């Protein structure tokens, strides 16, 4: 099995294998945001992590959007080039 560093892509990102679930989380400023349960490629399920939308790279966000799990307004922002 490869080490964690060897499993990153050329830009230093871990690879998303699947998006398993989503939830809302309360931020410290009282607002809410979406978090996604990520299954990382080449890692066992115990290494799955909850990641906020802002932590996902373009590929991760596309993966979420393709599964129909994007936060409200994300698809419109993507078309405008804001995301």
pLDDT tens sequence across 32-75: 899 999 999 999 999 999 999 999 988 889 989 999 999 888 86
Number of independent structural domains in the chain: 1
CATH number at residue 28: 2.40.50.40
Q: pLDDT-derived band of residue 8, with 50, 70 and 90 as boundaries?
A: low
Which residue in 28, 30, 19 sits closest to 71, CA to CA?
Answer: 19
Q: Which residue range forms the structural domain that includes residue 11?
A: 5-70
pLDDT tens sequence across 53-63: 999 988 889 98
Residue 78 lies in a domain: no
Here the contacts of 25-33 (C-beta below 8 Å, separation 24 or greater) are: 25/50, 25/52, 33/71
Predicted local confidence at residue 20, as pLDDT: 96
Residue 57 lies in a domain: yes
Q: Does residue 22 surpass a pLDDT of 90? A: yes
Residue 58 lies in a domain: yes
């Amino acid at each position: 099995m490869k080490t964690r560093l060897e499993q990153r892509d050329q830009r230093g990102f871990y690879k998303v294998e699947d998006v398993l679930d989503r939830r809302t989380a309360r931020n410290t400023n009282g607002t809410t945001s979406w978090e996604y349960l990520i299954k990382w490629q080449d890692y066992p399920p115990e290494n799955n992590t909850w990641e906020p939308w802002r932590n996902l790279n373009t590929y991760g966000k596309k993966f979420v959007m393709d599964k129909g799990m994007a936060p409200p307004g994300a698809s419109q922002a993507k078309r405008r080039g804001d995301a």
